Structure 1
Amino acid sequence: MDIATLIGIVGGFGLIVATIILGGNPGGFVDVPSVVVVIGGTFASVFVMFPLKAVVGTFKVGMKTLLFKAPDPNDVIRTISGLADTARRESLVALEKVAIDDPYLKKGVMLVVDGSSEALVRSVMEIELDFMKQRHRMGQGVFKGLGTMAPAFGMIGTLIGLVNMLQNLEDPASIGPAMAVALLTTFYGAVLANVVFLPLSKKLEDRSEEEALYMQIMIEGVSSIQKGDHPTVVKEKLQAFLAPALREESS
């Protein structure tokens, strides 16, 4: 679980709620029609922007930011180095009997075992990488859309409230409370956009980049295995994908 995402969301809402309570009038920040306008309008717009399936899957995509456990790239490199060692000591065909947990890496290795050309293997793996990025961009786009539309519908709700207020100016004492209620929709929209939707969009973007890095390491690793590179050379080549601080020292 990514505890940082949970801490950020809970902490963000916690600070806002604490500030409201310290202000002495928490009940003044609750308005059901404002909530309906902001949340309902935001999701309605996103349904227009994206296919139904993408929007419905938003919850599942959002949970990925909490439950995603980033694999250790050094584990991937060690696995590929071990496969390279097996291929050099025995043969490429021997890799068929090696247990490979990652389905993407296994697909690439099996293509090599089947005698596919290096260009074909790389092409198949890169196509899957490209479509993975495309699927992830859809999920990121939904949250970006939510983050864009929430403040917009907050402003729409405020305008509705102002119109209602201006139509009832006979009672000056009611102007202040009516203005406060009108501003609540802008408040709700800003909070949802900046505490939930836009941060989740950025986190999903980072997750996608991490996954793409692992897949690029696997593509290069499979290519090196097919070329018959020495395991040490394979390890050094793949560690070049990582920042120096993340590289595992050679034993």
Structure 2
Amino acid sequence: MDLLSIIGTILAFVVIIAGTLLKGGTLAALWNPAAFVIVFVGTTAAVMVQTPAVTLKRALSMLPWVFQPPRQTPLVLIDRIVRWSEISRRQGLLGLEAEIDDETDAFVRKGLQLLVDGTEPETLRSVLEVEIATREHADMDAAKLFENAGIYSPTMGIIGAVMGLMAVMQNLTDPGKLGHGIAAAFVATIYGIGLANLLMLPMSAKLKAITRLRVQQREILVEGLMSIAHGENPKHIDSKLQGFLL
């Protein structure tokens, strides 16, 4: 679990609630069903119109990463690559066949299979880098979905506020309703700006950072497999791959 994301999300809601109370407002003033529908459903509708179905599906599958990101273990990967290089020096590349069967990561398994099959180093790099670039592009598009939601939600908040003020203007003959009506109208603005700056934009940035780390780890793998294919010394491979972590 990512404690920083959990604490940050809780703190965001605490700030809004505490700020309202310190300003003399009430918790009931923060709830407005009409504003909720306009901002949250409206933002969802805008994102759905803009986003291809495959990207939307990928974004939803990545959402849990904000609070429970996939485990990134570059040091462990480097140790494994060095061990593979030692095996290949003693037994040849065919000695790595047993490692393929035990591997759970599809990308690592594919790289090892290419290596064992005797694929030319440059061809191996080309094949794996195409997959890296394709996955990075798809994941970045998915992460950008939340950024787009953060762009739309403040605008939806303004629309909700304007619609609320229109309703207030229709009741100018009843001064007792004006104050409550104006306050309710601006709840939509709070929803829109809060949704963007406390949730959507931070989540997008977090997912992009995780994607970059995943790409880095796969680049380490590709460089390591290339080094093994070239028959480099395991110690030299270790030193080279450690450079990715500086």
The answer to whether the superposition gives a TM-score over 0.5 is: yes
Distance (Å, rounded) in 2 between the aligned partners of 1:137 and 1:188: 26
Alignment check: 8 A CA contact 1:129 1:215 kept: yes
Alignment check: 8 A CA contact 1:81 1:231 kept: yes
Mean Cα displacement is larger for which, 86-95 or 160-169? Answer: 160-169
Task: Tell me, yes or no, if structure 1 residue 169 matches structure 2 residue 182.
Answer: no
Assess, with a 3 A threshold, how the Cα gap between structure 1 residues 120 and 209 changes in structure 2: closer, same or farther.
same
Distance (Å, rounded) in 2 between the aligned partners of 1:144 and 1:204: 10
Task: Tell me, yes or no, if structure 1 residue 26 matches structure 2 residue 21.
Answer: no
TM-score (norm 2): 0.93
Assess, with a 3 A threshold, how the Cα gap between structure 1 residues 21 and 59 changes in structure 2: closer, same or farther.
farther
For 1:27-59, what per-residue CA distance to the aligned partner results, in whole angstroms no more than 9, with x for missing partners?
Answer: 122111111111110001001110234335544
Distance (Å, rounded) in 1 between the aligned partners of 2:228 and 2:54: 39
Alignment check: 8 A CA contact 1:86 1:94 kept: yes
Distance (Å, rounded) in 1 between the aligned partners of 2:98 and 2:59: 39
Structure 1 residue 174: Cα displacement: 2.5
Assess, with a 3 A threshold, how the Cα gap between structure 1 residues 56 and 72 changes in structure 2: closer, same or farther.
closer
Task: Tell me, yes or no, if structure 1 residue 239 matches structure 2 residue 242.
Answer: yes
Q: Which residue of 2 aligns with 1:41?
A: 42
Letter paired with 2:231? G
Q: Which residue of 1 aligns with 2:13?
A: 13
Q: How many residues align?
A: 243
Letter paired with 2:35? S
Task: Provide structure 2 residue ranges, at least 5 long, that are not aligned to the other structure.
Answer: none
Q: Which residue of 2 aligns with 1:118?
A: 121
Distance (Å, rounded) in 1 between the aligned partners of 2:117 and 2:134: 24
Task: Provide structure 1 residue ranges, at least 5 long, that are not aligned to the other structure.
Answer: 244-251
Letter paired with 1:41? G
Alignment check: 8 A CA contact 1:133 1:208 kept: yes
Alignment check: 8 A CA contact 2:150 2:200 kept: yes
Identity of aligned residues (%): 32
Distance (Å, rounded) in 1 between the aligned partners of 2:240 and 2:144: 34
Mean Cα displacement is larger for which, 200-209 or 26-35? Answer: 26-35
Q: How does 1:16-165 map to 2 (within 5 A)?
A: 16-22=16-22, 23-98=24-99, 99-165=102-168
Assess, with a 3 A threshold, how the Cα gap between structure 1 residues 58 and 227 changes in structure 2: closer, same or farther.
closer
SS of the residue 2:77 aligns to: helix
Distance (Å, rounded) in 1 between the aligned partners of 2:57 and 2:119: 39
